[in-house]
Structure 1
């Protein structure tokens, strides 16, 4: 499962261990005696709210630790996501599951810290816990949660970014999770299903699901912003974040994310972005009269070898008992994608209420990929009720088409195993509501319905029928400390 996410309080999840909390408490006690509460800034800007229900984080300025560190160029973040999901019908089993994610991150502004302009250093870690409902109960391609992942504690990202050309360009080098910048949709981030974060196509087709939550790869990313409207992203990363082409992190010898591997081919990825009615960065307080939107075109190419989904190395179907069982090998894999985010309505430029729509489509070769076409789209309404300016209601659909050769293999299998179900596509519908209790606390209610889990894979309890359509309800809580 991949999402976070990106990962912000408004869109996703991030968790922390008790040890990190203890370390934070020790640091606070060591510094608190020498610190005073923050006063108004020299330019007259009032201090940040300090009331429990108004401040941006649960712990506020942490006894003065946060502003003390910020003055020295250091910021830290701590966010926890917990959720409970239950499939009321369908799937392989019917039961509920708890899962959670804690993320801690530290950033350093090198201008403040060392006098080096334009530099940012970032390190983040994950603590993933609980049970994966999708794998255990549903066997769906589009995981019902973007938080679900193999349990464990691991390094996530470790990179340095340096801007140049007057701030119009920057380069980032180090261990990176590409879902934080590539293929991202602003409005899709409101939903819990993983496909609305890191889409199902790269998640199923790239080795180990690609360098996206909870994984990352060593690499370099260049970003150029020649104008307010245009941005170009390009990057090259290690081809398999799990190492050795493995799809299983826990069996790859890199369960803690510290392998820093550069031995599994290369993943090239590029994206062009156009911002419609983009704000003028030279006049940040100016209001645009037009409705903002962002449009993206991108591609990725992986240099490794990929197994055919239907034929062996002699051209015989893998379902045939006479097959060698060794899949035909294809050199390289690639995908193309497009993303659109557009606000379509708001009462006025100053109103918190707005209606946004998104659409994302991507394709890949059908011979070497389990999913060769993926589409997701949806609509979100911000501030749906008076006085609930930061709530979000949304409705979305995700579609994953099984690759042509994977469909062919299912048909071939049926020829040798009568009754074996055909595979076609998986579709998920999701309705969600984010309730913002406080700036630091969000609760989300969610309903999903999965049609043809796995695209129509057989039920392990009766291989002559496919897994039944599944209805899933869930609740998520996100707290920023």
Structure 2
């Protein structure tokens, strides 16, 4: 095939799973295989693409207002072009991703009142969106990487996996509790620079446009930028990836500053309590916060490297002047190859703590005349078993248990049974 034909073929294809790209390419990763060798030929010439489908079923069995089930899903199209192979541009690549989401939100449909959703794939409306459209350049013998283009405020920030179904334990959690931080699949114009200081120490900086209008369904396929930009989100992260006794680890510390428009959670425009006056909130032109992440493999089977135990812990502190949920804690583990006969399966377990901002709680108490309890702390938990049917198909049945839903200690605990299905075509 000619280079032009290859580019056209790639643009018509598209996914967001890294397995589709050059570092770990295998036709076995796709349910539809190698297409008679055509997929491998495209890969060798610099084009990788795929289609990925994620479905999340959830049924509320305890707590909330109703016992019922819902589904949410996402179809993703992704293409990646190695411009070094295609055009002889050293260290250059281009990526374009689209997504389409549909379904219902169990938290709303069953009235569970949890602080974060039981289906992480739900959000930002049933619409097709441009998720990624960026140029990437690697420099200085792979020690410096630059991205420029349309980016979600999530792909290069707080890089936690999305294997869990509860939103508390999936992806860029700071964006779920911080106003004006729009995560996947909403994208904004931005830039990312990542540099290696040493072999195991790197510094990453991201800068994103903040425009709330990009979250509108009508802007889903807008390649430009509508009026409404309110500022920028800047994130800096220091990452350390040591090997401890032969086992890999990852430790990160990040800070952010967002210059969008924010409402104060407690004070009105006169500096008095909103819960007492009912007046419009005080306005802020910036918000900031920080996060800490730690992930360490603590065991690996000497006879089978696919069997291992990895522990993780995360902490997020958001701006208490503008955030309803102020702090988030995570603790958990991934058990890879839990049984010798199922080395590709995985067990995941996580326990969280979400703290409602004390100022938000005080405002609610004042507004209802101290007649009912104010929210405080919610404790979500999740356990899943990942069944690797093939490299292209994974099922993750899970159970979620939420104590003090919404941070209210008097409410009955919520129990949700779920099933997350991932298919790569």
TM-score (norm 2): 0.89
Residue number in structure 2 paired with 1:270: 236
Alignment of 1:248-397 (within 5 A): 249-250=216-217, 253-256=218-221, 258-260=223-225, 263-277=229-243, 290-320=246-276, 322-323=277-278, 325-348=279-302, 350-397=304-351
| Displacement of 1:171 | 0.5
1:476 aligns with 2:420: yes
Structure 1 residue 367, shift from structure 2 partner: 2.2
Question: 1:12 maps to what in 2?
Answer: none
1:35 aligns to what?
none
- After superposition, residues 194-213 of structure 1 pair within 5 angstroms as 194-207=167-180, 210-213=181-184
Aligned-partner Cα distance in 1 for 2:29–2:47:
17
Separation of aligned partners in 1, 2:340 and 2:304 = 15
CA distance in 2, matches of 1:178, 1:48: 29
Q: Secondary structure at the match of 1:145?
A: coil
Contact 1:119 1:160 (8 Å CA) reproduced:
yes
Structure of larger gyration radius = 1
Question: What is the root-mean-square deviation in Å for CA atoms of aligned residues?
Answer: 2.2
Q: How far 1:238 sits from its partner (Å)?
A: 0.7
1:144 to 79, 104, 118: 118
- Residue pair 1:273, 1:297 contacting (<8 A) in 2 also: yes
Give the corresponding residue for 1:71.
44
Which of structures 1 and 2 has the larger relative contact order (alpha carbons within 8 angstroms, sep 6+)?
Answer: 1
DSSP 3-state at the match of 2:382 = strand
Matching of residue 441 in structure 1 with residue 407 in structure 2? no
Equivalents in 2 of 1:78, 1:352: separation in Å? 26
Deviation sequence 1:284-343 (CA, Å, 0-9, x none): xxxxx61111100001100123111122111232222x43x2101123100111000001
Question: Is residue 152–residue 256 contact of structure 1 (8 Å, CA) maintained in 2?
Answer: no
Shift of 1:216: 1.5
In structure 1, what is the Cα distance between the partners aligned to 2:213 and 2:54? 24
Unaligned runs of 5+ in 2: 1-8, 14-24
Question: Over residues 377-422 of structure 1, what are the superposed CA-to-partner deviations in whole Å (9 max), with x where a residue is unaligned?
Answer: 101111001121111112101211111210111221232xx53331
State the TM-score, normalizing by the size of structure 1.
0.79
Retained in 2: the 8 A contact 1:201–1:373?
Answer: no
Query: Residue 77 of structure 2 corresponds to which residue in structure 1?
Result: 104
Deviation at 1:193? 1.3
Secondary structure at the residue paired with 1:195?
Answer: helix
Aligned length: 401
In structure 2, C-alpha distance between the alignment counterparts of 1:113 and 1:297, rounded to whole Å = 37
SS of 1:408 mapped into structure 2: helix
How much has 1:431 moved relative to structure 2? 0.7
Q: Which residue of 2 aligns with 1:424?
A: 376
Larger proportion of strand: 2
Provide runs of 4+ in structure 1 moved above 4 Å: none
Distance 1:436 1:241, change over 3 A: farther
SS at match of 2:36: helix
